[in-house]
Structure 1
Amino acid sequence: MMILSWRRRRGGHRTTKAAFSEENPSTNLAIPTHFLCPISLDLMKDPVTLSTGITYDRESIEKWIEAGNQTCPVTNQVLKTFDQIPNHVIRRMIQDWCVENRARGVERIPTPRIPVAPRDVLEICSNIMTATQRGDHKKCMELVEKIKRWGRESERNKKCIVENGSGYVLSALFESFSSISIEEHKFLLGETLSLLIWMLPLGSEGQSNLGSASSLRCMAWFLKEKNLSSCQNAVLALKELLGLDEKHVNAFAEIEGVEEALVKIVKEQICPKSTKASLMVISHLISSSTSSENTISRFLELGLVSMVLEILVGSERGMTEKALSVLDTICNWEQGIVKVRAHALTMPVLVKKILRVSILATDLSVSAILKLCKSQEGGGDQQVEALQLGGFHKLLMVLQVGCGEKTKEKATELLKLLNQYRGRLDCFDSSMDFKYLKRPSL
């Protein structure tokens, strides 16, 4: 027997640490040693036995094995198999002991669910493939819901599902039913896409299925839907997919109405995750080597520049970097430079972001400012404004604190451009607030 002194702990603490009632704030209990995991020395919640006959808590022994160990921690014998057999006898004894000591505040451990095994995943994947080939919507829905339930139970189940080929099978299901009728199968397709999100990135075959014309049309359809969950899942999947292969970018850009759907997500800012993903998708669309002027023109007409600058005024690091990436890419186009230059917030925001957010944000800000200052029309005005906002001193600091070679070259070129106006203007600090600027209404 082992004697442990336990005290009442706050709610929400690990259930392996028993809690005591207020009437008995401190009590000594004799805990049978075989109720404790040999690794963690905690009361076992899910006791399992290895091939060596030693019982451990499942969570502890799994971490031991995942760390690359191939021996039994107690006996040091090489494990012939990594199978973990639930020890129901010990588990029931622990539960009975908890019940017996309930008056002293000990909480009964719940009966653990048996985790999903690879053979379970392989079997359900086989059934999904068969049902998909038959076009059996009802059966596919039943199997997809089962996988979803497994995933909810534990992260271990999710990992097992992902590692045993379910990504490819579900992407094949998604492609197949989206090619039949998106409207008719929208619920099945939405549930399938929600599972695919936590399986990303997919293998090459899965990417091919998700990047097919029918799959892309389906995700574009979800972007326009009022269902916020489906919309978010679609934009998250597109963010991953379009970053892998430019052919997916080109195919998606040809779908009508995607610009409006993406800009709407940015404008409404449903959640930071969706907004970031949408900005990344937009960046892929306008930075593609085959991007058309129609695509960039449509984004500009929809007010993308104003929305991005509004985001930049007060956002956290990740959002700021995504927004700057979009703004810098817009400046690759002459019509984009015209729109960006015309906005009152542009230069104050860009100068302010230098050395204030991250190395990447500084690189993108310097790049965008250089493009604006070198533009054929209005370049001189941009140089004067950058100088007035303290851009010259910030660029000198960029060279002093260190930066990438490309950024250093751009900063040096910018300093040369600004130097021709230096001495003729009174500079003011760019760290001032933006209160003197009126925010444009979207």
Structure 2
Amino acid sequence: MVRDKLYITVPSLFRCPISMDVMRSPVSLCTGVTYDRSSIQYWLDSGHDTCPATMQTLPSKDFVPNLTLRRLINLWAQSNGPPSPASASPSVSDQNVRSMVEKIESGKSENLRDSMSKIVDLVTAGDENRRFLASFDGFVPAIVGVLSRGGARVEMEVLELAIAVLDSVVTENGVRERVHTSVSKRNYSCLSSICLILQKGSLKSKIESARVLESMAVNAEPSKRAIAENQDLFHALLHLLSSETDQNLQDAVLSSLIAVSVTHSAKAELVRSGLIQLLSQALLNPNTTNSVKEKGLKLLSMMSTCAEGRSAMRDWPECTRAVAERLMKVSRAGNEEAVTVLWSVCCLLGDKRGQEAVVKSNGVAKILLVMQSGYCEGHRIRRMCGDLVKVLSSGCKSAAGAAGLGFGLYESKTTHIMPC
């Protein structure tokens, strides 16, 4: 009976397919199978070019850390007691953190992977560990230093571990400021590594990189400008918008673009790179989440403040239609962004095709509803709504009537709503 009580069943998911031991540092091959890093590294170093579990030939021998599984193993070990010393939950202390920081700062490649793996174990083990690391003197600069070395000098796995650590601690008190200081002291050299992760990293690492970029730009004008002036970074973010369908990734990318698109040159570059078309398609896609649509409207509103953005919207009528269709289907802030875009195209630019697109999308009735339903509290937005109603009613009445759209119906049912 005692023996039965002491017996612990290890979930098969937590065992390495090679060693059959609980994985300490799970990593996934391109086949999707996860192994303990030491086991699969030995297999690959021995000359094999296949996945041990499936025997598929590997088009790439790269592997990425499975941080979610690592976290689950740590939680399971804490609840059930570790079946072996290798799976024990890591402890944090001044001495061991200082030792890891010194190894990272030494720049020796043989120290980086092991030290970064241990740090990831620490930050994922609990909130207390994360707060301890975030406040440890020299910790944040050391992690930023890994990204700043980057390129051929640091393996992709180590870069992904470093970005995962930054993403975990950046919201802790005072960390964002230390990140800004460390990044600027290194002349923003870490941006090259972040760009590389956005291009070649795992889905999780791409999301973390976009979030770190957003954090770097918050309340830090120099960081915003440094990111905005890095065209490779901008193009990597735009490529993710066009090529990836994961909504969490798109949400993170849009947040980072909103945070850094502060200069006219940055906005113009985004417009030239096809941002207007991408956002229009996202707004019209029924599978796009509300959060992505709201952020898409925010970014379109920002683009409408520059001549290049308005011109692109004029040349792409689908944009105006997509924005008009989102009216009254988003939050108050989203409606205000949508009204701003429509006003910029239809009133400021005076685009006839844009005006017709709004009418065909029943946009006039929606604008009137925005005015009367309290969806716009500011005088500026109410004035824009009034301008839109006047322009659309005078400029598109004949076109709408010719198309059988019944523009008079809007007037007969909404005469109690007076434009501002």
Q: Per the shorter chain, which TM-score range?
A: 0.5 to 0.7
- TM-superposed CA distance for 1:354, in Å, is 0.8
AA of the residue aligned to 2:143: F
Gaps of 5+ in 1: 1-11, 13-108, 431-442
- TM-superposed CA distance for 1:274, in Å, is 1.5
Match of 1:126 among 64, 81, 98: 98
Match of 2:146 among 177, 198, 217: 177
Match of 2:227 among 245, 252, 258: 252
Aligned to 1:135: 107
AA of the residue aligned to 2:333: L
Name the CA distance, whole Å, in 1 between partners of 2:355 and 2:143. Answer: 51
Query: How large is the RMSD of aligned CA atoms in angstroms?
Result: 2.9
Match of 1:243 among 210, 218, 236: 218
Alpha-carbon contact 1:262-1:278 (below 8 Å) kept: yes
Name the CA distance, whole Å, in 1 between partners of 2:274 and 2:150. Answer: 33
Counterparts of 1:344-423 in structure 2 under 5 Å?
344-376=317-349, 378-402=350-374, 403-405=376-378, 406-421=380-395
Pair 124,428 (structure 1): closer, same or farther in 2 beyond 3 Å: farther
Q: Secondary structure at the match of 2:264?
A: coil
Measured against aligned partners, the alpha-carbon deviations of 1:78-115 in whole angstroms (never above 9, x if no partner) come to xxxxxxxxxxxxxxxxxxxxxxxxxxxxxxx8336986
Pair 181,393 (structure 1): closer, same or farther in 2 beyond 3 Å: closer
Alpha-carbon contact 1:175-1:214 (below 8 Å) kept: no
Alpha-carbon contact 1:170-1:192 (below 8 Å) kept: no
- TM-superposed CA distance for 1:411, in Å, is 1.5
AA of the residue aligned to 2:140: S
Aligned to 2:166: 196
Aligned to 1:146: 118
Alpha-carbon contact 1:122-1:164 (below 8 Å) kept: no
**Aligned length, in residue pairs:** 312
AA of the residue aligned to 1:342: D
- TM-superposed CA distance for 1:381, in Å, is 4.0
- TM-superposed CA distance for 1:248, in Å, is 0.8
Higher helix share: 2
Q: Using the aligned pairs only, state the percent identity.
A: 15
Pair 388,193 (structure 1): closer, same or farther in 2 beyond 3 Å: closer
Alpha-carbon contact 2:123-2:133 (below 8 Å) kept: no
Larger radius of gyration: 1
Is 1:309 equivalent to 2:280 in the alignment?
yes
Aligned to 1:216: 191
Q: Secondary structure at the match of 1:177?
A: helix
Name the CA distance, whole Å, in 1 between partners of 2:330 and 2:147. Answer: 42
Name the CA distance, whole Å, in 1 between partners of 2:406 and 2:162. Answer: 52
Name the CA distance, whole Å, in 1 between partners of 2:167 and 2:233. Answer: 20
Alpha-carbon contact 1:260-1:302 (below 8 Å) kept: yes
- TM-superposed CA distance for 1:347, in Å, is 2.3
Name the CA distance, whole Å, in 2 between partners of 1:226 and 1:180. Answer: 17
Aligned to 2:412: none
Name the CA distance, whole Å, in 2 between partners of 1:150 and 1:174. Answer: 14
Name the CA distance, whole Å, in 2 between partners of 1:241 and 1:181. Answer: 18
Q: Secondary structure at the match of 2:152?
A: coil
- TM-superposed CA distance for 1:215, in Å, is 1.9
Aligned to 1:278: 253
Name the CA distance, whole Å, in 2 between partners of 1:410 and 1:340. Answer: 18
Name the CA distance, whole Å, in 2 between partners of 1:345 and 1:179. Answer: 41
Match of 1:163 among 131, 146, 169: 131
Name the CA distance, whole Å, in 2 between partners of 1:124 and 1:325. Answer: 45
Aligned to 2:26: none
- TM-score w.r.t. structure 1 length? 0.63
- TM-superposed CA distance for 1:164, in Å, is 0.9
Alpha-carbon contact 1:350-1:369 (below 8 Å) kept: yes
Relative to structure 2, which stretch is displaced further, 305-314 or 235-244?
A: 235-244
Measured against aligned partners, the alpha-carbon deviations of 1:165-207 in whole angstroms (never above 9, x if no partner) come to 3376443123323444532113323211112212222341133
Aligned to 2:294: 321
Name the CA distance, whole Å, in 1 between partners of 2:201 and 2:208. Answer: 13
Name the CA distance, whole Å, in 2 between partners of 1:132 and 1:121. Answer: 17
Gaps of 5+ in 2: 1-10, 12-78, 408-420
Alpha-carbon contact 2:141-2:179 (below 8 Å) kept: yes
Aligned to 1:332: 305
- TM-superposed CA distance for 1:320, in Å, is 0.3
Name the CA distance, whole Å, in 2 between partners of 1:306 and 1:326. Answer: 12
Name the CA distance, whole Å, in 1 between partners of 2:301 and 2:249. Answer: 20
Q: Secondary structure at the match of 2:81?
A: coil
Alpha-carbon contact 1:131-1:137 (below 8 Å) kept: no
